Chains A and B, each alone.
Chain A
């Protein structure tokens, strides 16, 4: 399927139906991947580092927020609209503010990535915690379990599959989060490279960087899917 798409794409460009400055052929992209490797590799490292730190921050904060929302009803009532609303905030609107507070280093990038990625994690975990088995909950209550014990032995384990779904979504969008973060002021990374490549009409290079971003998103997704299989060895899916 992918091969057929690539062949069609190559044909469209070779036939001159689209200006190659707008859409380079796959072979041109492949050549740029190789020719520009000394340029792409360091930027890939920068972006990967941002993605990893940002994603970890999103997972930790997202999970903590979900547990807090699960345990305390008023926190859920107070924060859920904010959590949902946060996803509607256009990054360019808050970028100057973030730069103002955090400056220009790694910190603003991490914040932007975490802001984009925590949402699926929080919602998936919060809903997963809520949807634990009702009969098991009754049983724990009969056994006089505390709230923390119920979280530890019932809600948390039963929320794991849903949590992994949230994490896989977060992993896939963390990469575009990093690009948006770098577009908000940066001097390295694939997002930065996209701007300079576009600025010089090096469209093949921009597509090569995009191919790397896609590969990174797929890689992260696969990593979390593998983790899920290792950790979640029970439940409805087993």
Chain B
């Protein structure tokens, strides 16, 4: 696939140059391609920024623009409105959007394979496991499906949910924890807030969703509009995903590349050691555990399990859709002629 991309780029290069210049400086006609992030740039986007800084997108013939959304729920709306070619979102958010009628949205790659959302507590709270939540106050971000996580976790741990007080603290999960207004918080990411607190000597107890009885899911996904995937759109998307996979590989080979790229994108992210620590923590989640699968692989069975859990918790109202919520056909080495469609 990589070779194909290079070949394609070379062909484009040769095709449009009256003055044939062998260098990469030749005036290649780049196709615009807009990526909407899920949130402000952070370690989760290391692969994308590394690919950007290494010029992998340009090499793939794409003039990539990376946009920060107004808030984490906006990317899918803006994608629907055609403000982006691809949006980063969350598996539950996509399923909710499709349940609300946006069945044309489809996940085309997993940026982060596993749940990053976690249950966090400071050691002083005495919470070591989900069973210790009995009689405690848990701060959540006020997102319904995360409140449902708490319910599932308590049920699995055999704790009566009525003994646990849930408080909506919005985006102030870490302050709620530090000020001890909450004994534990659900919603912070183990690879971001978890690493930060640890580096500031407030090492928290971190319990991950998929270890507490919540079915596993892809925390961050790349979402596209089905109707935008005609031959040209599909080609652009394939090249984008391929270059992002390569960028993520660069980050795996040397996490510092990711930290440098992030710092270049946003000079406010100047705590390089912190960024690098977060990237290192996230690395295992960037790639599928099954090494025979390409970067971005989404497990259909896991998606079905997760969707079933959402239904069981009354988070989805419509009957299951005819069109699948995900496809692996745009991943590197997949869907090019052979029958390995996901």
Interface residues of A (CB under 8 A from B): 19, 21-22, 39, 43, 92, 95-96, 98-100, 103-104, 183-187, 192-193, 195-197, 199-202
Contact = CB atoms under 8 A, between A and B. Distances in A.
Given A99-B78, A185-B69, A21 B178 contact: yes
Contact of B74 (A96, A103, A186, A201): A96
Contacts of A104: 67-68
Given A21-B200, A21-B202, A200 B78 contact: no
A196 B266 contact: yes
Contacts of A103: 83
B68 A186 contact: yes
A200 to B, nearest CB: 5
Interface of B: 40, 42, 67-71, 74, 77-78, 81, 83, 174-175, 178-179, 192, 196-197, 200, 202, 265-271, 274
A92 B72 CA distance: 11
Contacts of A96: 69-71, 74, 77-78
A43 B270 CA distance: 14
Q: Which 9 A-B pairs have the closest CB atoms?
A: A196-B268, A95-B70, A184-B70, A96-B74, A185-B70, A19-B178, A100-B81, A185-B68, A96-B77
Contacts of A187: 68, 265-266
A99 B196 contact: no
A39 B268 contact: yes
A201 B78 contact: no
A199 B270 CA distance: 12
13 contacts: A19-B178, A21-B178, A21-B200, A96-B69, A96-B77, A100-B78, A100-B81, A184-B71, A187-B68, A197-B268, A199-B40, A200-B196, A201-B174
Contacts of A39: 267-268, 270
B116 to A, nearest CB: 14
Contact of A100 (B40, B83, B269): B83
Contact of A99 (B40, B74, B266): B74
A32 to B, nearest CB: 12
Contacts, number: 70
A192 B267 CA distance: 11
Nearest to B174: A201
Given A183-B70, A199-B40, A201-B196, 10 more contacts: A43-B268, A92-B71, A95-B71, A98-B70, A99-B78, A185-B67, A195-B40, A196-B268, A199-B192, A200-B271
Given A19-B178, A22-B179, A100-B83, A200 B269 contact: yes
Contacts of A184: 70-71
A196 B179 contact: no
Contacts of A92: 70-71
B251 to A, nearest CB: 19
Contacts of B196: 200-201
Residue in A96, A100, A192, A195 whose Cβ sees the most chain B Cβ within 10 Å:
A96
Nearest to B81: A100
A22 B175 contact: yes
A53 B271 CA distance: 32
A183 B39 CA distance: 11
Contacts of B270: 39
Given A187-B266, A199-B42, A201-B174, A95 B74 contact: yes
A196 B83 contact: no
Contacts of B197: 201
A200 B274 contact: yes
A192 B178 contact: no
B179 A19 contact: yes
A130 B259 CA distance: 60
Contacts of A196: 40, 266, 268-269
Nearest to A181: B70
A181 to B, nearest CB: 10
Contacts of B174: 21, 201
A44 B82 CA distance: 32
A201 B268 CA distance: 12
A202 B275 CA distance: 13
Nearest to A18: B179
Nearest to A96: B74
Contacts of B71: 92, 95-96, 184
B201 to A, nearest CB: 10
A92 B74 CA distance: 10
A189 to B, nearest CB: 10
A95, A99, A197: most-surrounded residue (chain B CB, <10 A): A99
A197 B266 CA distance: 11
A95 B71 CA distance: 9
